[in-house]
């Protein structure tokens, strides 16, 4: 359950977000590692992260739509701010582009654009996380100018509601071997589009997360037993979304919580932002099992030699030397993971309700050319709103930090 001094201390190539900032948690035992994880400055609009009362829009194509079913990104961001009432609305649409083409339903691209803007009006976001480019990149170098122009138009539309925007580059394609296609050429295109998105973000003073770089580093081939980030080279697995969530939370200065013990015993409330469980909390490498990452980092400020057992709520989670504890040891805590999983499941349930709210399956009969048959039932769609609000009240309860008693005892 223990890992070596945590890799969160190293600079993360995924985070080139435009000012490292240290955040003050309400619990004095925590130290921020943000400065070592964010290499560029956050724009002024993001210096306080997500604020109380924020309504965050998630906008994009397949990557964003499928996130509502995994919930890892939203869970990580929700848990990162346990003291703030932040809500999320996912407007992802599979196969969509910056012109809203997939949202046209039975109409043309103008209808898709109108539908997109109506959805923005419904959500009324105060912040937005936007990810496009995976589809456009198939056009290669020749399509870049059209993509830039379309993205500018889209961002102007979002800007009617908020200029607090984070642009996320599209993830890379994963090489899973033949007979699946070799993604090398398409990844070269995706790299160009990611660079274009980065430039757009900097020009407009938006935050930027280079997911292409973040996930690309995790897609090494030839490691026996290594978990894949995608199911087919394109669509992310739960593990893929888990890694994406970590990259985005680090970008806004919310790395793994750190607990520092001045004595051998401490009771602390630990936030859940790093405790995102997977179906398997570990990944195998060459027959050995290593922790994917830690739920928290434990440091022991006292000097001295020997080894110490680390216990959480009376359960021994591992043993580490005093030297390692001084620099920091990563710990997986089942109690934290269980709490985060409850939160994630409630978020996924809320997302399903909102999905039916803004794109009901029978909308042809409710709102479109057959509404003369069943359009009277359209009055039922806003009735999803109180159901969504009820879920969000439960989410607010579940996002709270977990109280843990952490003790160090001489190793036996």
CA distances (Å), 379 to each of 54, 157, 372, 376, in order?
28, 28, 14, 7
pLDDT score of 17 more than 80: no
Q: Among residues 252, 248, 272, which one has the least CA distance to residue 48?
A: 252
Better-predicted residue by pLDDT, 90 or 295: 90
Query: Average pLDDT, stretch 260-268?
Result: 95
Q: Is the pLDDT of residue 385 over 90?
A: yes
Kindly report the three-state secondary structure assignment for every residue of the chain.
CEECCCHHHCCCCCCCCCCCCCCCCCCCCCCCCHHHHCCCCCCHHHCCCCCCCCEEEEEECHHHHHHHHHCHHHHHHHHHCCCCCCEEEECCCCCCCCCCHHHHCCCCHHHHHHHHHHHHHHHCCCEEEEECCCCHHHHHHHHHHHHHHHHHHHHHHHHCCCCCEEEECCCCCCCCCCCCCCCHHHHHHHHHHHHHHHHHHHHHCCEEECHHHHHHCCCCCCCCCCCCCECCCCCECHHHHHHHHHHHHHHCCCCCCEEEECCCEEEEEECCCCCCCCCCCEEEECCEEEECCCCEEEEECCCCCCEEEEEECCEEEEEEEHHHHHHCEEECCHHHHHHHHHHHHHHHHHHHHHHHHHCCCCHHHHCCCCHHHHHHHHHHHHHHHHHHHHHHHHHHHHCCCEEEEEEEEECC
Average pLDDT value for residue range 350-366? 89
Question: What is residue 284's predicted lDDT score, i.e. its pLDDT?
Answer: 37
| 79/283: higher pLDDT | 79
**8 Å CB contact between 18 and 241:** no
CB neighbour list of residue 230: distance below 8 Å, 6 or more residues apart: 173, 174, 176, 236, 237, 240
pLDDT at residue number 361: 84
Q: Residues 98-121: what's their mean pLDDT?
A: 95
Q: Tokens 């897609």 belong to which residue?
A: 219
The pLDDT value given to residue 225: 52
* 1 pLDDT tier (thresholds 50, 70, 90): low
Confidence class for position 350, pLDDT limits 50, 70, 90: very high
pLDDT at 290: 39
The domain spans of the chain are 10-254
Question: So what's the pLDDT on residue 199?
Answer: 98
- Where residue 261 falls (left for φ over 0; alpha for ψ -120 to 50; beta otherwise) is beta
Q: What is the mean pLDDT of residues 97-121?
A: 95
pLDDT band of 193, cuts 50, 70, 90: very high
Please give the pLDDT value at position 2: 52
What is the rounded distance in angstroms from the CA atom of residue 105 to the CA atom of residue 217?
37
For residue 260, the SS3 value is: strand
Provide the pLDDT for residue 372.
84
- Quickly state the pLDDT bin for 23 (edges 50, 70, 90): very low
pLDDT given for residue 282 in this prediction? 43
Encode pLDDT of 113-153 as tens digits: 999 999 999 999 999 999 999 999 999 999 999 999 999 99
Fold of 10-254: Rossmann fold (3.40.50)
pLDDT higher than threshold 80 for residue 274: no
Looking at 70-74, 140-144, 303-307, 385-389, which range is the least confident one? 303-307
Residue 365's pLDDT is what? 66
CA distance 383 to 353: 10
In the chain, the N- to C-terminal Cα span, in Å, equals 17
pLDDT higher than 90, residue 22: no
**pLDDT exceeds 70 at position 279:** no
Give the pLDDT confidence score for residue 383 in this predicted structure.
Answer: 93
Q: How confident is the model at residue 298 (pLDDT cuts 50, 70, 90)?
A: very high
Q: Residues 323, 218, 89, 351: what is their CA dihedral angle, to the nearest 10 degrees?
A: -90
- The Cα–Cα gap between 393 and 340 comes to 16
Q: Note the pLDDT tens digit of each residue in 206-247.
A: 999 999 999 998 887 655 556 789 999 999 999 899 999 989
Mean pLDDT of 378-403: 95
**Model pLDDT, residue 29:** 31
Question: Tokens 């398409």 appear where?
Answer: 186
Q: Please tell me the distance from the alpha carbon of residue 384 to that of residue 345, in angstroms, as a whole number.
A: 18
pTM score: 0.86
Q: Mean of the per-residue pLDDT values for the chain?
A: 85
40-53 confidence digits (pLDDT tens): 468 999 999 999 99
Contact 47, 166 (CB under 8 A): no
């Amino acid at each position: 359950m223990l890992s070596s001094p945590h890799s969160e201390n190293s600079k993360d190539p995924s985070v080139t977000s435009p000012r490292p900032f240290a955040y003050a948690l309400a619990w004095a035992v925590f130290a921020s590692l943000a400065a070592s994880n964010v290499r560029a400055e956050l724009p002024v609009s993001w210096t306080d992260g997500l604020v109380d009362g924020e309504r965050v829009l998630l906008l994009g194509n397949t990557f964003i739509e499928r996130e509502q079913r995994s919930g890892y990104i939203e869970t990580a961001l929700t848990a990162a701010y346990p003291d703030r009432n932040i809500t999320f609305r996912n407007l992802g649409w599979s196969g969509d582009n910056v012109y809203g083409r997939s949202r046209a339903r039975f109409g043309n691209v103008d209808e898709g654009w109108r539908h997109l803007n109506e959805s923005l009006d419904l959500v009324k976001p105060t912040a937005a996380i936007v990810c496009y480019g995976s589809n456009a990149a198939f056009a290669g170098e020749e399509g870049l100018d059209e993509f830039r122009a379309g993205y500018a138009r889209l961002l102007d539309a979002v800007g009617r509601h908020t200029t607090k925007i984070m642009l996320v580059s599209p993830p890379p394609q994963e090489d899973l071997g033949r007979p699946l296609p070799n993604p090398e050429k398409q990844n070269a295109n995706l790299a160009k589009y990611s660079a274009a998105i980065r430039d757009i973000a900097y020009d407009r003073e938006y935050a930027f997360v280079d997911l292409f770089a973040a996930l690309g580093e995790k897609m090494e081939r030839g490691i026996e037993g290594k978990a894949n980030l995608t199911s087919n080279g394109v669509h992310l697995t739960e593990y893929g979304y888990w890694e994406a969530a970590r990259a985005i939370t680090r970008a806004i200065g919310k790395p793994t919580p750190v607990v520092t013990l001045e004595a051998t015993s401490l009771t602390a409330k630990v936030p859940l932002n790093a405790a995102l469980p997977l179906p398997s909390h570990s990944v195998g490498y060459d027959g050995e099992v290593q922790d994917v990452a830690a739920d928290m980092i434990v440091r022991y400020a006292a000097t001295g030699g020997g080894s110490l057992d680390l216990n959480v709520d009376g359960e021994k989670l591992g043993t580490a030397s005093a030297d390692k504890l001084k620099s920091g040891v990563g710990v997986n805590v089942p109690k934290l993971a269980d709490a985060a999983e409850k939160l994630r499941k409630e978020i996924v349930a809320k997302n399903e309700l909102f999905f039916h709210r803004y794109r009901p399956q029978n909308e042809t009969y409710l709102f479109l050319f057959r509404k003369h048959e069943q359009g009277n039932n359209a009055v039922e769609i806003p009735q999803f709103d109180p159901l969504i609000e009820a879920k969000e009240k439960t989410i607010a309860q579940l996002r709270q930090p977990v109280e843990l008693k952490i003790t160090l005892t001489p190793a036996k």
